[in-house]
Structure 1
Amino acid sequence: MPDEPVEPPFPITTGTPPPKADQPRVETTPPPGEPVAVTAAESPLKRFLPFIIGFGVVLLLILLVAKVILPRFQKPKTPDVISLTYWGLWEPENLITQIIDDYRKVHPDITIQYVRQSPKDYRERLQSSLAKGEGPDIFRWHNTWLSMLKNDLAPVPNEAYSGGEFDTVFFPIAKKDVYISGSYFGIPLEFDALALYINEDIFAQNPDTKVPTTWDNFRQIAFKLTQRDNRGQITRGGAAMGTTNNVDHFSDILGLMILQNGGDPGKPGEETVTAALKFYTLFSKQDRSWSEALPNSTLAFATGKAAMMLAPSWRAIEINQQNPKLNFKLYPV
């Protein structure tokens, strides 16, 4: 029978035996240059990443529905209708209506109401209407009215005419008439100079009388065609000249005479200007070919009370309306 185990005099450990006294101690720190294994802590962002991705997907779906899907089921927004009023003078409504209809095919959201105005007192009515804030959006105006209307005019947009394009299309005189403070305030539509109106029937009754070609000849024929009653009162003027109260466009006539005489209307003291003014007054003061007692020159010509007159070509429309049977012609001045 084996002997009983003997208890050792000291406890026996099962771990790593301690090094001997003469054995060097081994360091467990890794040598320089070798990586140290470190256990990283879990990032908080990683926990919420699924929620962030889910929120982004939901937001994307909302935008897709709002911007793409819903608009397909909504009725398109009707653009605001812009209403404009256009004041004209010569063109009949049926002609302008065709132009407006063609314009609306391209711009269906714009309506234009055309109103044909009478040339009589047109400027006064236009200024009064604009001053009240009731004026038209589009209207005709004479090239001499810029200073009177400039506060009520809008500059021509570059989309219609740029500065360089305007100078290329129109004559330099047009720029002078519509250009102010670096902008254009109108678009020229036509050039209407003075013309000599002749009553053909009166000239036919005087076969030796020809259409005048000079101012002196014009004065002589005007004197010859003038008729007076037994008291010496003029019943038919030879030419509507010499006064200001009943001669339409007298300022234009004077300006023409001054320029043809080599004068400058802006220098009234020059001999060339005063000579033209004196010649103009001869028709009423000396020759008595015209009188202040006669009707307005256009009406007088339309009713056969003036054999000749100077006026723009558009007056022919008014004369035809007043007397469709009048036989007359226009000649260049």
Structure 2
Amino acid sequence: MNLSKNQIIILSAVGLIILIFVLIFLGVLPGKKQNNSSSPTSFQQKIVAKISFWTYDENPQNFNSLIQSFKNQGIEITIRNFDSYESYNSALLQAMAVGQAPDIFMIPSTEIPVFANKINPLSTTQLPLVTLQNLFPQIVINDMVVKNNIYGLPLSIDTLALIYNRDLFNKAGIVSPPDNWVSFVDLVKKLTLKDENGEIVQAGTALGTTSNIHHATDILYALLLQAGSPITKNGQAVLTDNPSQMAFQFYLQFAKPTSTYYSWNANLPNSLDAFAQNKVAMIFDFQKSIAEITAKNNFINYGIAPLPQLSTSSPIWVVPARYSVFTVSRQSKNYSIAWNIIYTLTTNQNQADQYVTLTGKPPALSSLIQKYLNDPNLTVFAKQALYAKSWYGPNRTTLDQTFENALDALLNANQMEFINILNQTQSKITALINNIY
């Protein structure tokens, strides 16, 4: 049979294709995975990158799913966790000093200004601002975006809330928690019980001191921000204006024996202990502290309510937040991979939701906030994340101590001393700010 030129070309091409498939099948040419006959799963993915990932106060197992998903892509992630932020921060700074910083590290959101020159941020051309706004609440945009650069992304956002004792409320005939400060002080008066000597036997709230109040300065920051104090402005602390003075006075009145609302003093137990012992009706704390309370008293009947506001009719509500973010070291040689890991961890709904499920922490991802709005354990914290606000402060430990010292000194100060103490504190805070910025 005589074949035409075109037929010869077609048959030759078909034969060549068949030959290639046979060679691939036999393993002569690449394209077929070579499995060990004794172990069909023994094929090893080639490692293309090794990523060091440092965290604090976390369980590394919470990231197992993330680690496995990237391992399948040839990326090996090694988690190193520290039990406390203090030890973590010390080790991190030492590692950075000798050029051995981890690729990915975790820091409190308020420490971004301190670590800014040690971070290799993500540009908003890589992650557009509109995308970030759709993914996270406004607080993340406000805190993390500086000059078109994104300095970190969170998995969880915790906020300050009112935690109240339902049994003490029921006993006093109180149906619901207060949603504004006027109602709050009225309930404090009703819930505070004293013996014949005027000693407090049941506190309406834990406010006014610092040594035995958990997160005392966060409560003060909330009052300052709600009162309209900027706390800092143009690199200067602002603490002597009327809104700031009113916030300080409001906080302190609960620890003054001459006050109508006297309900707390330095001789009482720590606020968390007192609450667990049914000795105080209302405290202010973060979601993270609830586990500590229930560990002290697993049978305590408590409720969670939003942080009271000056007025619930106000168009702007203010509640302080505490949260950590993941970011990439300037020393990392795997910038793109590291940011891809962070982006996947914090914005992939399955990954982020698994973290919430494992830890019980409130979510940061907007889609998960919507999901947990009706969760009895997280509803308040999820909702508050939508209007949460941060106040940047350099060296949070030193800053908190400075404010605590001021509160302690102000408690028994006369009017002239009051202003002098605020002026001195203002100068100290300004010096701290200028030392960082």
TM-score by length of 1: 0.63
Offset, 1:197: 0.3
3-state SS of paired residue (1:176)? helix
CA contact (8 A) 1:209 1:221 kept: no
Higher relative contact order (CA 8 A, sep 6+): 2
1:225 and 1:143, CA in 2 relative to 1: closer, same or farther beyond 3 A?
A: same
Distance 1:181 1:159, change over 3 A: closer
More divergent stretch after superposition (320-329 vs 207-216): 207-216
Q: Using the alignment, how far apart are the partners of 1:323 and 1:214 within structure 2? A: 28
Indicate if the aligned counterparts of 1:96 and 1:114 stay in contact, CA closer than 8 A: no
The answer on 1:202 being equivalent to 2:202 is no
Instruction: Report the CA distance between 1:181 and its aligned residue.
Output: 5.8
Partner of 2:291: 317
> What secondary structure sits across from 1:85 in the alignment?
strand
1:101 is aligned, of 68, 72, 90, to 68
State yes or no: 1:221 paired with 2:160. Answer: no
- Give the equivalent residue in structure 1 for 2:93: 131
Residues 147-179 of structure 1 deviation map (CA, whole Å, 9 limit, x = unaligned): 233344342367973556435544554233123
Q: 2:55 aligns with which of 67, 75, 87?
A: 87
> What is the 5 A alignment of 1:216-295?
216-228=182-194, 232-266=198-232, 267-285=238-256, 286=259, 287-295=261-269
Instruction: Give 1:203 shift.
Output: 1.6
Superposed CA offset, 1:195-246 (max 9, x none)? 1101112222222464223212212322332344565443442211112333
Deviations 1:103-147 (A, max 9, x none): 422x33313336374xxxx44333222222287654543322222
* Inter-CA distance 237–129: structure 2 relative to 1 (3 Å threshold): farther
Among residues 161, 166, 170, which one is paired with 2:127 in the alignment?
A: 161
Change (3 A) 1:169 1:202: same
1:84 and 1:136 in contact (8 A); partners too: yes
Which deviates further from its counterpart, 310-319 or 173-182?
173-182
Quote the residue 2:403 is aligned against.
none
Cα distance in structure 1, aligned partners of 2:176 and 2:47: 64
Q: Tell me whether 258-267 or 234-243 shows the greater mean CA deviation.
A: 258-267
- Cα RMSD of the aligned pairs, angstroms, is 3.6
Deviation of residue 248 (structure 1)?
Answer: 2.5
User: In 2, are the aligned partners of 1:238 and 1:289 still within 8 Å (CA)?
Assistant: yes
For the structure 1 residues 182 and 211, does the alpha-carbon distance in structure 2 shift closer, same or farther, using more than 3 Å as the test?
Answer: closer
What letter corresponds to residue 278 of structure 2 in structure 1?
G
Where structure 1 has 5 or more consecutive residues not aligned to the other structure, the ranges are: 1-68
Going from structure 1 to structure 2, the CA distance change for 1:261 and 1:83 (only over 3 Å counts) comes to closer
> Corresponding residue for 1:185?
151
SS in 1 for 2:252: helix
Between 253-262 and 134-143, report the one with greater CA deviation.
134-143
Count, aligned residues: 257
Query: Any conservation in 2 of the 1:241–1:280 contact (CA below 8 Å)?
Result: yes
Name the SS for the 1:141 alignment partner. strand
Structure 1 or 2, whichever has the larger Rg, is 1
TM-score of the superposed pair, with normalisation by structure 2? 0.50
Q: Which has the higher helix share?
A: 2
